[in-house]
Chain A
Amino acid sequence: MYDELLNEDGGPREHARRLIDSLNRLGHERLLSSAERRDAIFLQQGITFDTYGPDGETRDRPFPLDLIPRLIPHDEWRQLERGIRQRVLALNRFVADVYGAAEVLRDGVVPWELVTTRAGFLREAHGIEPPGGVWCHVSGCDLVRDSDGTWRALEDNVRVPSGISYVLENRAAMSRLVPELFDEYAVRPVSDYPEGLLSALRSIAPGGAGTPTVVVWTPGPANSAYFEHAFLARRMGVELVQAGDLVVRDATCYLRTTTGLARVDAIYRRVDDAFIDPLELRPDSLLGVPGLMRAFREGNVAIANAPGTGVADDKAIYHYVPEMIRYYLAEEPLIENVPTYLLSDPDQREFVLENLDKLVVKPTGESGGAGVFVGPTAGPEDVAEQRRLVEMNPARWIAQDTVWLSTVPTMCERGPLAPRHVDLRPFAVFGESVWVVPGGLTRVAMREGSMIVNSSRGGGSKDTWVLAEDGAREPAEPDPFNPPTMPGLRQFGWTEQERQQQQARQGR
């Protein structure tokens, strides 16, 4: 097991030494009281996450933030950042290729049947050329750390990855709850994400006079990530819209406003592909805008992410990402995949079925940790059931070697800090170039030994600190400090003494 803050002897790693010292100085009591304040603050501010209980009932609970941050040293992050950029570029080229010239398919790098049978493959997107050739504007690549400390990519989210709002809110909350921890470190900021996203969205908007109108499109308040949709709209200063607010006339998208229809140039949509246009995609969608695909195809409105990116998000396609990187970029992948087995292949399937108790099996088209089977922790009946499911429809599944996720000390309900498994979801924004937010969402499995980190399944989160170049918060070179002289702040119009003088004068 690899711990990110502690080395094998249980002592702090070099970059974490000052954090551990600060934590010791703070003491357990102080951490506990901060944790109480945290829940109250999150509930008050409405930073919540819906979870579905076993009886299907939804509950709003404060987003679970653990107060011990996860640290990533500067050099390590530089390497990760390059690796993520590489992945995003390759995936983007892949999507463009699939709906365009299809060279990757013709050259046999990725099998043609596999691509066209993916749930995320969108025939309607064929032939579309989005502005700048960018399809995957916002992506979140899930990274994990193996037991020897190597980083690996676990999956790619290029449909509607969520979680960035929690990255920003976590940082804000940490700086309010445990400001002392920041004293020793220079942490790279994350709070400029909304501006970065906004300028990326503006950069893809079809040309026209004036500033382009950008909107965030949410399925509605019932969506579990509604908080994030509202957060992004608020922080970017743009409208948060639902399907009923949008209308397409003459292949142009408009907003219904109190002063009539207003042209929309770019839509950051948080609605799944299949639902965005009932005329061309799912006809039963109540969340869609009729005619939107046509407006998009004609280039009158930009949609981020572009419809159709789901094809690159599939867990079976994931297997080919390293190949794609070599094919499109002529580079070696900087972040390795977790070894993956395609169950549609008979030899690989046979191997997997024999070793089910050592592997992880995942459905290809799902997200949020649904349907994931973890061999090493499963009972014999579960193994038999999984075998039956795989044999029934092998192409629906992939298997991966079990990765023993790295751990970070975490506050538990009772008792001292204990190691809990974590992953990392960094976010990248692709406008004119790829920009990776330093850090990302660290998700943590709150139960001992568990490796399921999804927040919908009881996972928590941590603030992720990417340390600045020198890491330490050095007293910066004092700036030339020549503020203007200012008149003193005045107190009361006239003092008691003056008041008496005044009365005396009047009495004279």
Chain B
Amino acid sequence: MLARIANDLYWLGRHLVRAEHTARMLDALFQAELEALTEDPSSVAISWRSVPVLMGAGSENGAPADAEAREAVTRQLTTDERNPVSIVSCVTAAREEARTLRDTISTEMWEALNKFFLELHEPSVGTSPRTGPHSLYAFVKERCALFWGLSLSTMQRDEARSFLIAGGRTEAADMVLRMLRVALPPIRPAEDSSRELPRRDGNALALLRAVGGTQAYMRSAAAPPNAEPVAWFLLLDDDFPESVAASAEALHRSLTRADPQPEVSPPILRLRRLIADLELRRHARIAYEELPGAFREIQDELHQVEREIERHYFTREAPGELTPLRVQ
């Protein structure tokens, strides 16, 4: 398979999953804010202020108050076409990639994605984030699910599909790690833990919703949805498809399938190291205070895997350090 085609498939997967996760996260934020999930109003959040940070923008302390941040953040991340990480931009990018892949993906997948793109550009969509964000986000989630569902039933399970899935799973793992890091940042020694810990428990419920895992968590876990068990669930639960461990495992499966020599392939070896590392942490059951540090290390390691994937499959040569794009 052409390196360029593989690259486009991989990024098609990433962009679609990014759009879906963003929609889920924003929807959960709206809900959490309006329903005030916990009695303590300060605990509602992953707050609007933290969303841009999550999407990679710089974290100045002078961030706007939540009320103003909500309006700005939803627009930037939903319909703003100039912002490369908004939902609309992600879908547009995915559709551009799909256009070059029309012979590779199934026609039904292409049509579903193209229809998604067209509907997202209808004028009514522009105003909906303010009045009824829920239906817009529900729409985005549905369309993404449609695409992946069609890929299950109409696409040959070949190398091409492996790269598509690989992209999707990489992005999912990265997004969940980002949310974990923002919702449960390191506890600083100066912080009053009697105030900080309940706050985190409030965050944990919003976090579960943002990943779409509330129901899965309730069914599988015996513990109430507090910060610590939720963190472990989202990081390591093998049976929850969006957990970091499950995504890493799925990524590994697709790469092994696509690679003619998995035993000596640098990205796969690097990924196995990551999976082994996750397994080790599961057994070591590190203390709660050390979790935020672990999130960071895992995310760093994941980014190393990403680099290896790109270097090995798409370029066969280092493209040089990439400048990350930033959200305003």
A interface with B by C-beta (< 8 Å): 30, 37, 171-172, 175-177, 179-180, 182, 186-192, 195, 199, 210-211, 234-237, 468, 475-495, 498-499, 501-502, 505
A189 and B317 in contact, given A482-B188, A489-B18, A491-B93 (Cβ under 8 angstroms)? no
A490 and B324 in contact, given A186-B41, A188-B39, A481-B49 (Cβ under 8 angstroms)? yes
Q: How far is the CA of A505 from the CA of B318 in the complex (A)?
A: 12
Interface 1/0s, chain B 207-223, versus A by CB < 8 A?
00000000101111110
Q: How far is the CA of A327 from the CA of B49 in the complex (A)?
A: 55
Q: How far is the CA of A186 from the CA of B134 in the complex (A)?
A: 21
Q: How far is the CA of A494 from the CA of B309 in the complex (A)?
A: 12
Look across to chain B and name the residue whose beta carbon is closest to the beta carbon of A475: B65
Listed stretches B52-60, B118-126, B233-241, B269-277; interface member: B52-60
A-B contact pairs, 24 of them (CB 8 A): A37-B132, A171-B35, A175-B30, A179-B34, A186-B41, A187-B36, A188-B39, A191-B37, A192-B38, A237-B221, A476-B42, A479-B199, A480-B191, A483-B185, A484-B59, A484-B181, A484-B292, A486-B182, A487-B56, A489-B324, A489-B325, A492-B11, A493-B11, A493-B310
Q: How far is the CA of A499 from the CA of B8 in the complex (A)?
A: 12
Look across to chain A and name the residue whose beta carbon is closest to the beta carbon of B43: A479
Is the CB of B4 closer than 8 A to any CB of chain A?
yes
* Contact status A189-B38, CB under 8 Å: yes
Q: How far is the CA of A20 from the CA of B230 in the complex (A)?
A: 40
* Contact status A179-B30, CB under 8 Å: yes
Q: How far is the CA of A195 from the CA of B314 in the complex (A)?
A: 48
Q: How far is the CA of A492 from the CA of B219 in the complex (A)?
A: 37
Chain B residues with CB under 8 A of A479: 42, 47, 199
Known: A484-B53, A486-B54, A489-B55. 9 other contacts (CB 8 A): A176-B31, A189-B37, A237-B219, A475-B66, A483-B59, A484-B185, A486-B181, A491-B84, A494-B7
Q: How far is the CA of A211 from the CA of B218 in the complex (A)?
A: 13
Chain B residues with CB under 8 A of A482: 59, 61, 185, 188
Q: How far is the CA of A211 from the CA of B229 in the complex (A)?
A: 15
Is the CB of B247 closer than 8 A to any CB of chain A?
no
* Contact status B215-A502, CB under 8 Å: no
Chain A residues with CB under 8 A of B50: 481, 483
Look across to chain B and name the residue whose beta carbon is closest to the beta carbon of A183: B67
Is the CB of B63 closer than 8 A to any CB of chain A?
yes
Is the CB of B303 closer than 8 A to any CB of chain A?
yes
Chain A residues with CB under 8 A of B55: 489
Look across to chain A and name the residue whose beta carbon is closest to the beta carbon of B50: A483
Question: Chain B: interface residue count, which band?
Answer: 35 or more
Chain A residues with CB under 8 A of B218: 234-237
Is the CB of B169 closer than 8 A to any CB of chain A?
no
* Contact status A186-B36, CB under 8 Å: yes
Chain B residues with CB under 8 A of A502: 315, 317, 319
Is the CB of B153 closer than 8 A to any CB of chain A?
no
* Min C-beta distance of B172 to chain A, whole Å: 13
Q: How far is the CA of A329 from the CA of B216 in the complex (A)?
A: 43
Is the CB of B186 closer than 8 A to any CB of chain A?
yes
* Min C-beta distance of A188 to chain B, whole Å: 7
Is the CB of B157 closer than 8 A to any CB of chain A?
no
Chain A residues with CB under 8 A of B93: 491-492
* Contact status B34-A175, CB under 8 Å: yes
Q: How far is the CA of A290 from the CA of B292 in the complex (A)?
A: 52
Q: How far is the CA of A177 from the CA of B222 in the complex (A)?
A: 34
Chain B residues with CB under 8 A of A485: 53, 58-59
Look across to chain B and name the residue whose beta carbon is closest to the beta carbon of A190: B35
Look across to chain A and name the residue whose beta carbon is closest to the beta carbon of B134: A176
Is the CB of B260 closer than 8 A to any CB of chain A?
no
Chain B residues with CB under 8 A of A481: 47, 49-50, 61, 63
Q: How far is the CA of A211 from the CA of B38 in the complex (A)?
A: 24
Is the CB of B189 closer than 8 A to any CB of chain A?
no
Chain B residues with CB under 8 A of A186: 36, 41
* Contact status A489-B185, CB under 8 Å: no
Is the CB of B24 closer than 8 A to any CB of chain A?
no
Chain B residues with CB under 8 A of A177: 132
A494 and B56 in contact, given A195-B224, A484-B186, A488-B324 (Cβ under 8 angstroms)? no
* Contact status A486-B53, CB under 8 Å: yes
* Min C-beta distance of A141 to chain B, whole Å: 22
Chain B residues with CB under 8 A of A494: 7, 310, 314-315, 319, 322
A182 and B34 in contact, given A489-B55, A489-B324 (Cβ under 8 angstroms)? yes
* Min C-beta distance of B69 to chain A, whole Å: 11
Chain B residues with CB under 8 A of A468: 41
Q: How far is the CA of A498 from the CA of B37 in the complex (A)?
A: 47
Chain A residues with CB under 8 A of B53: 483-486
* Contact status A488-B325, CB under 8 Å: yes
A499 and B4 in contact, given A236-B218, A482-B185, A486-B178 (Cβ under 8 angstroms)? yes
Q: How far is the CA of A142 from the CA of B50 in the complex (A)?
A: 43
Chain A residues with CB under 8 A of B303: 487
Chain A residues with CB under 8 A of B4: 499
* Min C-beta distance of B255 to chain A, whole Å: 15
Docked complex: B1-26 residues within 8 A CB-CB of A = 4, 7, 10-11, 18
* Contact status A484-B182, CB under 8 Å: yes
Q: How far is the CA of A234 from the CA of B219 in the complex (A)?
A: 8
Q: How far is the CA of A179 from the CA of B49 in the complex (A)?
A: 19
Is the CB of B115 closer than 8 A to any CB of chain A?
no
Is the CB of B257 closer than 8 A to any CB of chain A?
no
* Contact status B135-A37, CB under 8 Å: yes
Docked complex: B273-328 residues within 8 A CB-CB of A = 292, 296, 299, 303, 306, 310, 314-315, 317, 319-320, 322, 324-327
Is the CB of B85 closer than 8 A to any CB of chain A?
yes
Chain A residues with CB under 8 A of B7: 492-494
Chain B residues with CB under 8 A of A501: 319
